[in-house]
């Protein structure tokens, strides 16, 4: 199999990344529904629906906004504008979804933490989506810089590059296993499981960005890395608590 992987069906080229992206949403949501059915959810059906709608709206806005901020200096012509409208960032989607959830909870006066049930479905969804990014190679701007490291791969342009999507898939599998292993402990405090996931994933993405050929930097850091810092500051009380408990 060559990368980019571009299969055809009845002579029609299939966008494997788009298919896996839709599959990620479908499987992730079905996994969430199953987890909620097996758990004792203290949030009512109506409030849970409002929270999901807030997450969707926040994720949509956040993903597009961060997609733009990754290259805000792009010239504003019709072609580039259409491309920007289709540019998405999972990091912006996660943080935007978080803000959307918190705003919706304030509106409906919901005090319970709501993130734990979303944690494992989100990890699974990102994992499936990253498989699509990996198979798309250099057709998607998720590949890494040129490298002579033994993990270097030809992702479609004839150069050996860091397969950063593959690195992320390995990390997500390990994170899924570890969070499952310690879920009984983390779920003692409502919302802690989701907070640990966000801290771990945004921490990983901060460092993996150094391996990507970003085109826009502020003080030596990419837009994604600045968002990672904002996320860590947002969860600083949780981070301090985890450090104290570790000691």
Average pLDDT over residues 221-236: 91
Residue 129 belongs to some domain of the structure: yes
Q: Where are the alpha helices (DSSP H) in the chain?
A: 16-38, 45-69, 78-85, 90-108, 116-136, 164-181, 183-186, 192-208, 223-234, 236-246
Q: Please give the torsion angle defined by the CA atoms of residues 16, 22, 27 and 30, in that order, rounded to the nearest 10 degrees.
A: -160
Per-residue model confidence as pLDDT tens digits over 84-100: 555 678 888 888 888 98
- For helices 78-85 and 45-69, give the axis angle rounded to 10 degrees: 150
Which of 171, 182, 165 is CA-nearest to residue 123? 171
Q: What is the pLDDT of residue 172?
A: 96
- Residue 179's pLDDT band (boundaries 50, 70, 90)? very high
Does residue 92 lie within any of the structural domains? no
Does a structural domain hold residue 49?
no
77 or 118: which leads in pLDDT: 118
Contacts of 217 (CB under 8 A, 6+ apart): none
Going 22 to 187 to 98 to 134, the CA torsion angle's sign is: negative
Its sign, for the CA torsion 83, 86, 89, 92, is positive
Question: pLDDT of 184-196, one tens digit each?
Answer: 777 777 888 898 9
**pLDDT, tens only, 129-165:** 999 888 888 877 788 889 888 888 888 888 899 999 9
Domain that holds residue 242: 8-42+112-246
Domain annotation covers residue 159: yes
Q: What is the pLDDT of residues 4-52, one digit of tens each?
A: 777 777 777 778 888 888 899 899 999 988 988 887 767 777 888 888 8
Domain assignment present for 31: yes
Domain assignment present for residue 84? The answer is: no
Residue 196 within any structural domain of the chain? yes
How many structural domains does the chain have?
1
Residue 140 lies in a domain: yes
């Amino acid at each position: 199999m060559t990368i980019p992987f571009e299969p055809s069906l009845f002579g029609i080229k299939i966008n494997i990344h788009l298919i896996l992206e839709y599959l990620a949403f479908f499987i992730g949501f079905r996994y969430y529904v199953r987890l909620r059915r097996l758990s004792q959810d203290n949030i009512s059906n109506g409030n849970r629906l409002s929270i999901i709608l807030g997450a969707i709206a926040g994720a949509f806005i956040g993903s597009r906004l961060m997609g733009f901020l990754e290259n805000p200096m792009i010239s504003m012509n019709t072609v580039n504008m259409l491309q920007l409208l289709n540019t998405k960032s999972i990091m912006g989607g996660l943080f935007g979804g978080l803000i959307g959830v918190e705003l919706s909870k304030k509106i409906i006066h919901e005090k319970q933490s709501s993130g734990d049930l979303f944690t494992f479905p989100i990890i699974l969804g990102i994992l499936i989506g990253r498989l699509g990014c990996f198979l798309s190679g250099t057709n998607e701007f998720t590949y890494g810089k040129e490298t002579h490291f033994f993990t270097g791969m030809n992702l479609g342009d004839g150069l050996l590059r860091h397969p950063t999507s593959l690195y992320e898939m390995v990390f997500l599998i390990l994170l899924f296993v570890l969070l499952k292993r310690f879920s009984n402990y983390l779920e003692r405090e409502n919302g802690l499981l989701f907070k640990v996931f966000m801290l771990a994933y945004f921490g990983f993405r901060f460092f993996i960005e150094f391996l990507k050929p970003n085109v826009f930097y502020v003080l030596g850091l990419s837009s994604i890395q600045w968002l990672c810092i904002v996320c860590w500051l947002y969860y600083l009380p949780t981070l301090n608590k985890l450090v104290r408990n570790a000691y």
